[in-house]
Amino acid sequence: MVDSHSHSKLSHDGKVKMEELRNRAEELGMTYFAITEHLDRDYKFGVKEKFVRQLNLPKYKLVYKFLKEKYKQSPMYFAFGVEAGFCPKAVPIYERELKHYNFDVIINSIHTVDGGDAYFSSFFRNKNQVDVYNRYLELLIESLDVPYPYNLIGHIGYITRYAPYENPSLWQPEYQEKIDILLKKIIEKDKTIEINTHIRDNTLQFLPEIPILQRYYDLGGRKIVFSSDAHRLEEVGSRYDLVLEEMKKIGFTHWTVYKKQQPFEVPFE
């Protein structure tokens, strides 16, 4: 069992101490667990919905290093990661900051679209679904070209998580062309897609949606990883068995995890 994405109290929306999260992962028998606090420099550029407390990177590193040392005998690899929220204007900040930290894994995520946070229903007010989704996909494609290092593509389909539309799915003919461009580019750049289970909707259990993952597989994509995106203790490893079964059905045989930015395959069996 592996989990590539989690947040402690150091992130603005985390609820538990990093040590508790880490220990919970070990209790579950994980061989790899990554702490990936939010680096939301995108919120510095006019996101109106919410004030977001910014991550203190030096403090984060200190807490992580303390725990890494304290549990150095543990067989579980405890990875030092970060989730960098992409927006075009934040790129130079990430370029400057990320190189000073020896991260195991960096998640390239999108939470904001042109200065709005897709977490809030107000974001969708007076917006047409086709326009919003296409813009989101455009940004996702653009985010793959950032000059700073990254390994995972965070929660593809985030825009659908809280969307109020009758059919919130991203797997519709209107978006097919852009989804294909996105998936081909991910494969070409040899990046990994995370399967993210931090979702409240009962109809969708994880992101990306299965048909998108099937398409990725059919195009030749083989790099995926499980991500609970836990913000609470009980969320660590959440829906792992379900995701594993679904990924096997598609044909995937292993997870890809990162240590010091290098990919390692973890077979399902």
Binding region for Zn ion (CB under 5 A) out of 16-24, 68-76, 108-116, 124-132? 108-116
**Distance from C-alpha of 42 to C-alpha of 46, rounded to nearest angstrom:** 8
210-269 residues in contact with Zn ion (CB under 5 A) are 229
* CB of 107 or CB of 182, closer to Zn ion: 107
* CB of 121 or CB of 253, closer to Zn ion: 121
**Distance from C-alpha of 140 to C-alpha of 152, rounded to nearest angstrom:** 12
Binding region for Zn ion (CB under 5 A) out of 101-109, 165-173, 184-192, 210-218? 101-109
| Per rule CB under 5 A, count of chain residues that contact Zn ion | 3
For 87, what's the count of Cα atoms within 13 Å in the CB-facing half-sphere?
18
42 binds Zn ion (CB under 5 A): no
SS3 266: strand
CB of 14 to Zn ion, least distance (A): 9
CB of 83 to Zn ion, least distance (A): 5
177: Cα separation from own chain's centroid: 23
* CB of 82 or CB of 182, closer to Zn ion: 82
Rounded to 5°, the CA angle 167-211-258 comes to 115
CB of 248 to Zn ion, least distance (A): 25
* CB of 42 or CB of 83, closer to Zn ion: 83
Task: Give per-residue burial for 35-48: e unless 16+ CB within 10 Å, then b.
Answer: bbbbbbbbbeeebe
Relative to beta strand 112-113, strand 116-117 is antiparallel
CB of 64 to Zn ion, least distance (A): 16
CB of 229 to Zn ion, least distance (A): 4
Which of residues 109, 151, 197, 256 is near Zn ion by CB under 5 A?
A: 109
* CB of 217 or CB of 229, closer to Zn ion: 229
Report cis status (omega within 30 of 0) of the bond before 208.
yes
140-179 residues in contact with Zn ion (CB under 5 A) are none
CB of 13 to Zn ion, least distance (A): 9
The residues of the shown chain that bind Zn ion, judged by CB under 5 A, are 83, 109, 229
